[in-house]
Structure 1
Amino acid sequence: MDVLVVVPGIELLEQWHRAIRRTLPDVPVGRRGGGHSDNFEGKRILVSTVHSAISTSAPQPSGPALLVADEVHRYGAVTFSKLLTDRFPERIGLTATFERSDDGVERFLLPYFRTVVEGCSYERGHADGILAPVNVMLVAVPFDPIEAVEYQEYDELARKLRGDLIEKFGCAGEPFGEFMRDVQLLGGGDGADRSTWVARKYLHAFSKRRSLLAECRGKREVLRGLGVVLKETGRALAFSETRESSRAAAEVLLEEGVLAAPFTSDLSRSDRTRLLNEFKSGTLTALVAPKVLDEGVDVPEADVGIILASSKSRRQMIQRMGRIIRPKSDGRPASFLVMYAENSSEDPANGAHGTFLEQLTGIASQVVTVSAEDAPGLLREWMNSARSDDKVEPAAFGAPVVEQPAQSSTSVEEVAAIAQRLIEEEVPEEAVVAGTENAEISEILLNVGVKGSVDDFDTVLSCLSILEPRQVSVLVMRYGLGGQQPKRQAEIGARLGLSSSQVGRIERSAIAHLGDTVAGQLLSDVMARMESV
């Protein structure tokens, strides 16, 4: 029986291919996607990205086959559900969280896979001894006076407009993903229509509120205070919400003597690989990343997890937990610091974190709420206690495999130079989103600009409504979405009074934002429709 393994992106494509070859060295295995074009001829197992698997040219097994759908929650999208055919009588889906913000689980996934195997939870992993003990610190961070006023203004506006969009203009109230889809469609309408105006105003307020939480200056100051402790600990992962806040946080840690680097979606594949290798070896102390580390990236174990911006997505927070609570070679506990802006949507007092905190506190040895000033001292206490309690016991039969340090041939000075470059330098034009899942968004925009129908253009323009006006202008010219030929960054810069590097940064930021939202799913639907014509 042939086997098709489907994954969301290139990182997982390579991980699965390596793992299968290592585990089943005598079984021929191929890849499709990410520059590979293997098929089932001469291959028993084919690992494919989902975009390649649903294309009209996708190879099909010659007979009944097994489908392995990794990160199966992704395939509840309308476009990706094309993967779920009767060609695969044997089928299994893998995910840490079987849920979506829309109705895709009930509409597509449950009818196809039918049976859900429950019980693979963090509680069970903790009870079975295959996870590290966990200490959890909740760190309350105040807004500065200006941030507080701005946050209250945008929060009140977003709440009011959300109510108007639901009650007056027919947007779905729940789930939130369906609401955002409706809002984006309204936002792409005729600018003279009141519903379009309200939708665009809501999206602007929503984006501003999100940026204030992500870039809260108080969080960076707490991180600065943690720097002296992080220099003495093992590896740390910090999770942010935006690429800009990732770069800013990495810069703060570097200033405090912590060898840290941003790990963002616009890195070249070589830089991504090098950073992960240096992090695994221990030369690089900390990685700061937005959603690019949440899923699909093979990240080495870390001792400390710092959440700079919380997420309302239970799935995303569970993915982040899994990066930190892997078992340590000496049995020491993991430490989690969750920063939240006081009196905001992140504040647990306002119901934030809900299910996520229940997942984490359910297995935590201790949960403590502290002020920003007390956080560094408590982390030092935890780490010193972990070191004094270090006792390496013989591994029991069936115990989890723990990671061993890798060797690095790169000096600390060289790694520091790389980190500084990634914070300061522009990404070359030819490297824009190359080798990342955002390349899919770029490809979709280019295809629509070249051969899209009127309906395709309407959908794309509605998706662009969530962006800032300058971002929209850059994408329209860059990808020929206004009916003209696509333009180079230098040409766009000349028109807008910007340098080529500034245009490149705006383009990358806009594409990354599209990929982080429901707009990315809508654009994938456009691409699938174009391929089927």
Structure 2
Amino acid sequence: MSFKKLKLPYSIKTTKENPNDSLFEPLLSNSLSYKVAVGYFSSKWIKDVAEGIANLASNGGKAYWLISPQLSKSDYEALISGSNSDLYRERVFKQSFQELYLSLKDDTLAAISWLIADGILNFKIAIPCNNLDGIMHAKMGVFEDENGNKIAFSGSYNLTGSSKGNWERIDIFTSYSSEESEARLKDIEVDFDEMWEGKDSNLKVYTPSDTSLAPYIEFTQLNSRPYRLKMKYSIPKHFLDDNGELRSYQTDAVNRWFKANGRGIFCMATGAGKTVTALSAVTKLAAHTNSKNSTLFVLIVVPYTHLAKQWCTEAEEFGFSPIRCFGGVTKWEGQLVQSLTSSIIQHFGVTLAICTNATFTSNSFKRFDTYFSKMPSLLVADEMHNLGSSEGLKRLPSTSHYRLGLSATPHRHNDEEGTDELYKYFGDEVINFTLEDAINNKCLTKYFYYPTLIEFTDEEWEDYKELSRQISRLINFGKNGEVKVSELAKTLLLKRARLINSMENKYKKFFQQVRDVGLKKHTLIYVGDTREGDLRAVEYVVKELGTTYGVSCNKFTAETDLDERSVLLDNFDKGETDVIVAIKCLDEGVDVPSTQHAYILASSTNPREYIQRRGRVLRKSPNKEFAYIHDYIAVPPNFDMDGFSPEDLKIFKNLFRRELARIEEFAQLAMNYGDTLELFSSIRKKFDI
């Protein structure tokens, strides 16, 4: 209900009415947001307004409480002085929350514990500083309804049960009754926001640690949620156009998925917004679930932890409170069990969990398979091709009602059987939005492609030929044309690929280009997981660029921890680091939109790898008109091939066919396609390729 329908006076006095009944209960029951700063608050007040706070939760609302604990003089001085501040702060705040925990009765404790666990009730603690040595004694707050109407209060009222027995006065201001009232409301809200964000110079503001709140979280595992958590799911405005719509192809994908009874694959180029499109489909399904007062279990499976964190952040923007099923089973298992069990008991609620492939395929996660049949369920698989292995296919729940696969490259390289099984499980492609579509729709940047021929040294070429001969003897072709590759052949194929990625002349040519024209900011260099002398290739290139050429650069590898990655990519985006030298870990899911120049010193014959890499470089970014891709193509020494034996010529043709697949994929959409075509058409003609 709109605040405008509530009849509120200009002020409330406790001698005439109970503020809980006449103000807090009705406002909380109709609010989506409640900001309050108060010096005192207690379990008695929480009990008095428990129903109103539960209604706030059911509305999909959130509360932000800025409070001030009672401190001894020694505690206060220790916190403010900074000496042992971390130890004191943890002890004092933990004690304050423990006292509140012990003072709450079971029913009220269950309510506030769940509110904290669901992320609805958010606490911060304010301690006065500078010339102030008391407590943060504010008594003010702001409510907001679903229509954006706001009501603020200010006065001598504390959030304690006993305060309603005192002589107290509360002044009330609205955003819609008069200009003066709106101005006073804005003044209160500005003060609160500055305090909450730590911008008030006379307050030190802290967020309670997980340790302080742990008793509340643990309590939820023993009690069901005492309210219906009816979240308001919606697509964030910054993903919509001026008409409040997604891009037409995104809307089309969502509609086609629903038309296919909630099954299908979003085959969308990197950078085309498949995460947003998928979450839009999930949002529509969740909103439908809420409208029917039903239940829904959504599980989103992604390859890596950094991707899972990105999904969690975006899911929260859509209004979800995702359960993070990664980083240790003890951190999430109880929460997921409780959420699913509560929904089943109450016949209501949406549970959205996000896990990594490692969690999904683990034994600890198998216990949750049963929930896919107990309630309507949706499995979303990001980079779905990763689940096409025999292990991944076994874990796909057969009882999942709805299924959505996502990938720019859903076909598995050299694995038709795995690809077929994935399509049988998820369904047909409901959209195939290619890289060309993405460029034409201005989702991605136009680019130039510069392939350069690199000759093997004589020794490298002899090694390459010998490996090729051994591999050819170990590969068998079945009756239906299927390729059978032995384990030894796989080892030799990997060794041959490493040989191509570590070609001596690739590095000579690259550093010659660095000497001649230098490197621009926002440059990404891909190298192989090989060695150059005593160093890994990634470390060798970083060292050479830094010491010999004075280039500001960093490496990005699988060993780079998540926090360091975040700092590294942020510095790269801001131009504080000019160059990133990476191995394969930048292929899937890591956004580096500011990348404008790419040098591919190492690649593979797997289309998924080089298509993903191109997508990294083409993402849109401010002041980025074009992208530039430099590719290094392996060819034999003495490239005219005159006098080569038929066997050598055959080996070269096979090599060049594999390289040519990448060249053509990159060249056909490049701005300088004609130049590339001219360079390689003569080679194809000469060697009948």
Give the distance between the partners of 2:395 and 2:517, measured in 1 at CA.
45
If you compute each CA radius of gyration, which structure gives the higher value, 1 or 2? 2
| Local SS of the residue matching 2:400 | coil
Task: Tell me, yes or no, if the aligned pair for 1:154 and 1:206 is still in contact at 8 Å.
Answer: no
For 1:294-313, list aligned pairs within 5 A: 294-313=587-606
Instruction: Name the structure 2 match of 1:3.
Output: 298
Tell me, yes or no, if structure 1 residue 238 matches structure 2 residue 525.
yes
Post-superposition CA distance 1:397-437 (Å, at most 9, x none):
xxxxxxxxxxxxxxxxxxxxxxxxxxxxxxxxxxxxxxxxx
Q: 563, 568, 587: which is aligned to 1:275?
A: 568
The within-5 A match list for 1:207-218 is 207-218=494-505
Distance 1:34 1:365, change over 3 A: same
Are the counterparts in 1 of residues 633 and 659 from structure 2 also a CA contact under 8 Å?
Answer: no
Quote the offset at 1:203 in angstroms.
5.8
| CA distance in 1 between partners of 2:544 and 2:567 (Å) | 21
1:351 and 2:657 correspond: yes
Kept in 1, the 8 Å contact 2:591–2:616? The answer is no
Give 1:66's aligned residue: 378
Hey, what's the Cα distance between the residues in 1 that align with 2:565 and 2:593? 13
Contact 1:348 1:354 in 2 (8 A): no
Q: How does 1:299-378 map to 2 (within 5 A)?
A: 299-343=592-636, 350-367=656-673, 368=675
Question: Cα gap change, 1:57/1:212 in structure 2, threshold over 3 Å: closer, same or farther?
Answer: closer
Q: 1:12 to 1:346 in 2, by over 3 A?
A: farther
Which amino acid counterpart does residue 388 of structure 2 have in structure 1? G
CA displacement at 1:161 relative to structure 2: 2.1
Over 3 Å counting, the alpha-carbon distance change for 1:355 and 1:116 in structure 2 is farther
| Cα 1:173/1:250, change in 2 over 3 Å | farther
Structure 1 residue aligned with 2:46: none
Kindly report which structure 2 residues correspond to 1:144-293, keeping only aligned pairs within 5 A, or say none: 147-149=457-459, 151-167=460-476, 179=485, 183-184=486-487, 199=488, 205-227=492-514, 233-242=520-529, 244-254=536-546, 255-293=548-586
Contact 2:454 2:505 in 1 (8 A): yes
* Contact 2:360–2:395 (8 Å) recurs in 1: yes
**Deviation of residue 239 (structure 1)?**
1.1
Match of 1:51 in 2: 358
Q: 1:321 to 1:45 in 2, by over 3 A?
A: same
Q: 1:121 to 1:246 in 2, by over 3 A?
A: same
Whether the 8 Å CA contact 1:40–1:46 is kept in 2: the answer is no
Instruction: Name structure 2 gaps, 5 residues minimum.
Output: 1-295, 340-349, 531-535, 638-650, 678-689
Aligned match for 1:80, one of 387, 392, 397:
392
Q: Which position in structure 2 is the counterpart of 1:98? A: 410
What displacement does 1:366 show? 0.6
Tell me, what secondary structure is at the counterpart of 1:93?
strand
Residue 364 of structure 2 aligns with an amino acid whose one-letter code is S
Structure 1 residue 332: Cα displacement? 1.2
Alpha-carbon distance change, 41 to 34 in structure 1, aligned in 2, over 3 angstroms:
same
Q: Which amino acid aligns with 1:51?
A: A
- Alpha-carbon offset, residue 16 of structure 1: 0.7
Cα distance in 1 for residues equivalent to 2:394 and 2:494: 32
TM-fit CA distance, 1:300: 4.0
Please give the per-residue CA displacement for 1:95-122, whole angstroms capped at 9, x wherever unaligned. 0101112134444211111211343101
1:22 to 1:79, Cα distance in 2 relative to 1, 3 A: same
Could you tell me how far apart the structure 2 residues matched to 1:52 and 1:131 are? 33
Q: CA RMSD in A?
A: 2.9
Asked if 2 retains the 8 angstrom alpha-carbon contact of 1:3 and 1:66, the reply is yes
How far apart are the structure 1 equivalents of 2:410 and 2:479? Answer: 22
User: Contact conserved, 1:214 with 1:241, CA < 8 A, in 2?
Assistant: yes
- CA deviation string 1:47-91 (max 9, x = no partner): 011221233331343412111100001111010112322331111
1:5 and 1:67 in contact (8 A); partners too: yes
Match of 1:41 among 334, 338, 343: 338
Counterpart of 1:253, as a letter, is L
Displacement of 1:256: 1.1
1:212, CA displacement in angstroms?
2.8
How far off its partner does 1:326 sit?
Answer: 1.2
Q: 1:28 to 1:141 in 2, by over 3 A?
A: same
Amino acid at match of 1:41: Q
CA deviations 1:19-41 (Å, max 9, x no partner) are 111232xx321111223424253
Structure 1 pair 205/51, CA: closer, same or farther in 2 (3 Å)?
closer
Cα deviations by residue, 1:274-299 (Å, 9 ceiling, x for unpaired): 22222122111111111111113233
**Cα distance per residue 1:116-154 (max 9 Å; x no partner):** 1343101111221221111010112233xxx322x3333
Change (3 A) 1:71 1:219: same
Q: Within 2, Cα distance between the matches of 1:174 and 1:8?
A: 32
Q: Conserved in 2, the CA contact under 8 Å of 1:137 and 1:369? A: yes
The answer to whether the Cα contact below 8 Å between 2:593 and 2:618 also exists between their aligned partners in 1 is: no
CA 1:21–1:175 in structure 2 vs 1: closer, same or farther (change >3 Å)? farther
Per mean C-alpha deviation after superposition, the further-off stretch among 41-50 and 287-296 is 41-50
Residues 501-520 of structure 1: pairs in structure 2 closer than 5 A: none
C-alpha distance in 2 between matches for 1:346 and 1:308: 19
C-alpha displacement at 1:171, in angstroms?
Answer: 8.8
Q: Secondary structure at the match of 2:433?
A: coil
User: What's the counterpart of residue 19 of structure 1?
Assistant: 314
Partner Cα separation in structure 2 for residue 247 and residue 135 of structure 1: 28
Which deviations, in whole Å up to 9, do the C-alpha atoms of 1:354-375 show, x marking residues without a partner?
44333322221114459xxxxx
The structure with the greater share of residues assigned to strand is 2
Q: Give the SS at the match of 1:309.
A: coil
The separation in 2 between residues aligned to 1:117 and 1:346, in whole angstroms, is 40
CA distance in 1, matches of 2:407, 2:325: 21
> Residue 338 of structure 1 aligns to a residue in which SS?
strand
Query: What residue identity is the alignment partner of 2:316?
Result: R
Tell me: higher relative CO, structure 1 or 2? Use CA pairs within 8 A at least 6 residues apart: 1
1:119 is paired with a residue of what secondary structure? Answer: strand
